[in-house]
Amino acid sequence: MELMKQKLSRLTTEQGTIHGLSFEPRRDDVFVVTAPKCGTTWMQQIVHQLRSGGDMSFDDISDVVPHLEDAYDTGIDIEAEHKYQPRCYKTHSWYPHCPKGAKYILIYREPCAAFYSFFNFFRGVFFQPEEISLPEFVQEFILVRKAPKTKTESSSYFYHLVSWWEHRNDSNVLFLFFEDMKDDLESAVRRVAAFIGIQDEQRIKKAVEMSSFEFMKQHAGKFSGVTMVRRRREACGIPDGAVFCKVATGSATKGREMMDDITKDRIQEKWLEVVAKETGFQDYSELRAAFKKEKMIS
């Protein structure tokens, strides 16, 4: 676990993270904002296809929808104009440290599913399968995270959610859930299109087609973090041939099925300690249902 943390700490530099989170966006810039493994890459593809009308000429999706925290260290100029408008970026920043003044697309996912996906994302890149177990990863890497004190600290899933929850009804925020996107991709794409000002029906239909699981799986190499791996391999000690696993089935149940009861109990304890304390909702399902009801009423 300590070796993994050491490697991960070298993935980005403090200078790079501060540079990215000090970015001053324009009002029409679009930020894809998530806790890790809640649909970030999926939404990067959706917004890029909406604005471009079907462009797949990129090597890696983060070359055209840059990750703010990584851009400096991978040689991407976040101030540059984009080939297609609006400019789009991704970030895992919680609200207090996120650059203000843009449009924000938030996505959350059932925590067990997100954490299981996070585990698979790092496996084979920052640790080998036999080196770290799923319970160890969740309990010693994810659940120990707290509210960041500086821009260079990563937010935990729970504090990230709480920090953005109170802004869910802001006019420049679109709040989505991974499970709803999976259940009805077209409706989600249409909501995103309306939010970022895309009205072209052909582009919307193209974006639905090109952000499907089947399409993205066929082009998995463009969603594997090749730019990050290539440019940070030596600094992080990433094995030759390693790629991030970013396109998966997105199962809503496998994460819970793969975790032991102790780990699930500790995830629930953390939810109650952080999220329930601020929102009153006792678990993810309750929060998601309340949000949907709130939107139906409003």
Residues identified as active-site: 92
Backbone torsions φ then ψ of 75, nearest 5 degrees: 80, 25
Query: How many other CB atoms are there within 10 angstroms of residue 30's CB atom?
Result: 27
Whole-Å CA distances, 124 to 3, 11, 133, 175: 13, 15, 13, 32
Local structure of 107: helix, strand or coil:
strand
Whole-Å CA distances, 44 to 147, 205, 250, 298: 26, 16, 16, 28
Find residue 174's DSSP bridge partners.
105
By C-alpha distance, which of 111, 30, 160 is closest to 284?
111
Contact status, residue 56 vs residue 50, Cβ threshold 8 Å: no
Query: How many other CB atoms are there within 10 angstroms of residue 276's CB atom?
Result: 18
Structure tokens at 284: 């993810």
What's the half-sphere exposure (Cβ side, CA atoms, 13 Å) at 77?
4
By C-alpha distance, which of 196, 20, 12 is closest to 97?
20
Contact status, residue 48 vs residue 82, Cβ threshold 8 Å: no
